[in-house]
Amino acid sequence: MVECFALIPAAGSGSRMGRELPKQYLPLAGRPMLWHAVRTLAQHPRIRRVYVVLAAEDPHFPESDFSAFAPRLRVLRCGGQTRAASVRNGLRAMAEEVGAEDWVLVHDAARPCLRPHHVDALIAQVETDSVGGILAIPVADTLKRADAGGRIEATQPREGLWQAQTPQMFRHGLLLSALERATEAPTDEAGAVEALGLRPRLVEGDVLNLKVTWPRDLRLAELILRDAEAQT
């Protein structure tokens, strides 16, 4: 039986946040940011196990905060210099427990607002797909290309453009092969699969599944999480 697993690369430093503590551990709604993504995935009935990839010498991972997820959480200290390297190393480490045909949902540690319905939609639309797919949202705003001086050089048509999110869901064997063969580090898993000549499916998500990149994003993420808790 084909099963679903989750992989969260969390070996980065999050330098754009301008904090000494790596971004994935910044406090958010009373917990480390990483905790929120782990909770959603570890509690989802279709996810058998969640693997979190950390840097080998990471001293910040708070074991006690994640103890409630212990039966379904596995920490892998094999992070690489790039996201792609961390995912590749994590896939290698998972290989003894995960079959080549099993699905792996790779999710950003910096997307703490992932909700169960996002995971439901992705799995429902991708598990019968021959390639795999990703959560994404259609681009709604007008896009401008800037020149070196910070002035508008051109207006880009937005028709057919989507903004990639995570999770990104691919079979373990296919994704590992794609990352092993990549000559340059792709910025997401879909990019590695596209380089094989394949076309992943786009599954529409929503703006609530935001990525925390800048300090101002923390406040917005906290509002989203507090609102979600109030509705449960």
* pLDDT per residue as tens digits for the range 131-143: 999 999 999 999 9
C-alpha distances out from residue 204 to 51, 97, 143, 145, 201, Å: 25, 30, 20, 25, 10
C-alpha distances out from residue 21 to 8, 18, 33, 213, 215, Å: 18, 9, 11, 14, 13
- Which pLDDT tens digit goes with each residue over 145-196? 999 999 999 999 999 999 999 999 999 999 999 999 998 889 999 999 999 9
Helix axes 83-94, 172-181, angle to 10 degrees: 130
The pLDDT score that the predictor gives to residue 1 is 87
- Average pLDDT on 88-112 reads 97
- Which pLDDT tens digit goes with each residue over 8-60? 999 987 555 656 789 999 999 999 999 999 999 999 999 999 999 999 999 99
Give the full edge-to-edge strand order of the sheet including 201-204. Answer: 73-76, 47-53, 4-9, 103-106, 162-171, 132-138, 201-204
- Average pLDDT on 186-209 reads 97
Q: Which band of pLDDT confidence, cut at 50, 70 and 90, is reported for residue 230?
A: confident
The pLDDT score that the predictor gives to residue 20 is 76
Nearest-angstrom CA–CA distance, 218 and 226: 12
C-alpha distances out from residue 84 to 8, 25, 69, 119, 142, Å: 11, 20, 25, 22, 30
Superfamily of domain 4-230: Spore Coat Polysaccharide Biosynthesis Protein SpsA; Chain A (3.90.550.10)
Nearest-angstrom CA–CA distance, 102 and 5: 8
